[in-house]
Amino acid sequence: MTSKVRAPIAAAIAAFLSLMVIVARGFAADAPAPLDPFDQVREMGRGVNVLGYDPIWTDPASARFRPAHFRSIARGGFKTVRINLQAFSHMDKEGRLDPIWLATLDRLVKVALNDDLNVVLDEHDSGICAEDAAKCETELTQFWNQIAPHFRAAPDRVMFELLNEPNGRLDDAAWNRLLAVELAQVRKTNQTRNVVIGPASWNSPLHLSELQLPKDDRHIIVTVHYYTPMEFTHQGAAWVPQYAKLSGVAWGSPFDLDRLNKNFDGVAAWAKDNGRPIFLGEFGAYDKADMDSRVRYDFAVARAAEARGWAWAYWQFDSDFLLWDMNRDTWVEPIHQALVPNR
Ligand code: BGC
């Protein structure tokens, strides 16, 4: 064999071997180049929360959400999914994540990326963290110590969200301390991946002023959640006792719109002062409110976020606050139209 023939064969073998390395590791071999978090937020655009309450995590065979739903989400005008992970109950006594759970997550992330979606991996065990800060710290650290290296080489379209809605025992001071601990864990393997962090008190915009982020870490996207006014968005919601029996609260008066704009202007002012981009990670109104008011609310909140250059993710695709009707396997059209008008 002449060296002219041998060279392409050697190159082909080398290419094959590096492909095998990529397949074995799950993602490309090298960490992605740094991505400016403001550019990332522009890319994220419109999004939706998915999979938080799906049986897929305990029994993949009885999943409601199917991989094809990512394609529907992308075709429906969304660019981002925030995957809600309740991982603490999928770790053994030593804190090791269940390999089947992790394989499910890997599969989902790959399909979402293939459909050109941005992916926020949101650790959503805020209920446990609200009650027991010590257990929270142990398990959250175990979680990020596994997930951060696991996704080290994933494309930069994958982002990590340290913890959903810190509240209860995680008051401002406790959360500021814990977020620094968790961010430091993540930064051991992901120096420049954009990490999503929000304020305490359920990611309340009113607690942004208390949020302390490491000043020299410029790869942070700040998140807030917006359900104001709760008596409208959570009327009839069994998990919020003071609003569980409420009904008939409408939304959309000039006062309502004015309050929304004032609240969002407050967030925008904080963002400007602190040089951080904003991701509105949850908003929406529970299914018990009247549909016309829900449509007005979702439209107004989404447009108000877009007008200020924020990315957003609607709460949520399936389960409640429905954007997708699983029985008919199609959009809840009025909500979809409100979120993504003029398709
Ligand atoms: C919680 C959900 C709840 C939603 C609206 C989320 O952060 O995880 O259980 O339905 O907020 O209240």
Read off the pLDDT of each residue in 167-173 and give the average, rounded to a whole number: 98
Please give the distance, rounded to the nearest whole angstrom, from the Cα atom of residue 320 to the centre of ligand 1: 9
**pLDDT tens column, 157-169:** 999 999 999 999 9
User: Is 142:68 a contact under the CB 8 Å cutoff?
Assistant: no
Q: Per mean pLDDT, which range of 10-14, 159-163, 185-189, 273-277 is the poorest?
A: 10-14
Please give the distance, rounded to the nearest whole angstrom, from the Cα atom of residue 67 to the centre of ligand 1: 23
In this model, does residue 326 exceed pLDDT 60?
yes
**pLDDT tens column, 208-222:** 999 999 999 999 999
In this model, does residue 176 exceed pLDDT 50?
yes
Q: What are phi and psi of 101, to 5 degrees?
A: -60, -45
pLDDT at 4: 41
Residue of 59, 8, 49, 32 lying closest to 155 (CA atoms): 32
Q: Relative to the CA of 164, which ligand 1 atom is closest?
A: 7
Please give the distance, rounded to the nearest whole angstrom, from the Cα atom of residue 281 to the centre of ligand 1: 11
Q: Relative to the CA of 53, which ligand 1 atom is closest?
A: 9
Please give the distance, rounded to the nearest whole angstrom, from the Cα atom of residue 26 to the centre of ligand 1: 31
Mean pLDDT score of the chain: 93
Q: Can you name the residues that pair with 49 across neighbouring β-strands? A: 82
Residues in contact with ligand 1 by the CB-under-6-Å rule are 124, 164-165, 282, 315, 320
Please give the distance, rounded to the nearest whole angstrom, from the Cα atom of residue 165 to the centre of ligand 1: 9
Higher pLDDT, 6 or 132: 132
Residue whose CA is at the smallest distance from ligand 1 atom 4: 315
Residue whose CA is at the smallest distance from ligand 1 atom 9: 239
Residue whose CA is at the smallest distance from ligand 1 atom 5: 315
Cα angle value 253/254/259 (rounded, 5°): 100
pLDDT at 30: 80
In this model, does residue 65 exceed pLDDT 90?
yes
Structure confidence at residue 342 as a pLDDT band (50, 70, 90): confident
Q: Relative to the CA of 84, which ligand 1 atom is closest?
A: 8
Please give the distance, rounded to the nearest whole angstrom, from the Cα atom of residue 149 to the centre of ligand 1: 28
Read off the pLDDT of each residue in 186-214 and give the average, rounded to a whole number: 98
In this model, does residue 101 exceed pLDDT 60?
yes
Structure confidence at residue 64 as a pLDDT band (50, 70, 90): very high
Please give the distance, rounded to the nearest whole angstrom, from the Cα atom of residue 20 to the centre of ligand 1: 41
pLDDT at 18: 45
Please give the distance, rounded to the nearest whole angstrom, from the Cα atom of residue 82 to the centre of ligand 1: 13
Q: What is the dihedral of CA 39, 126, 51, 91, to 10 degrees?
A: 110
Q: Relative to the CA of 237, which ligand 1 atom is closest?
A: 12
**pLDDT tens column, 22-43:** 444 455 558 888 999 999 999 9
Higher pLDDT, 2 or 323: 323
For residues 49 and 120, give the distance between their C-alpha atoms in angstroms, rounded to a whole number: 9
Please give the distance, rounded to the nearest whole angstrom, from the Cα atom of residue 201 to the centre of ligand 1: 13
**pLDDT tens column, 308-324:** 999 999 999 999 999 99
Where residue 319 falls (left for φ over 0; alpha for ψ -120 to 50; beta otherwise) is: left
pLDDT at 29: 59
For residues 112 and 196, give the distance between their C-alpha atoms in angstroms, rounded to a whole number: 19
Q: Relative to the CA of 126, which ligand 1 atom is closest?
A: 8
Ligand 1: residue of 125, 282, 316, 317 to mutate (most ligand atoms within 8 A of CB) is 282
Structure tokens at 258: 């004015």
For residues 107 and 249, give the distance between their C-alpha atoms in angstroms, rounded to a whole number: 41
In this model, does residue 179 exceed pLDDT 50?
yes
Ligand 1: residue of 196, 203, 239, 318 to mutate (most ligand atoms within 8 A of CB) is 239
Q: Relative to the CA of 127, which ligand 1 atom is closest?
A: 8
What amino acid occupies position 189? T
DSSP assignment of 138-150, as one string?
HHHHHHHHHHHHH
pTM (global) more than 0.85: yes
Structure tokens at 241: 């006792």
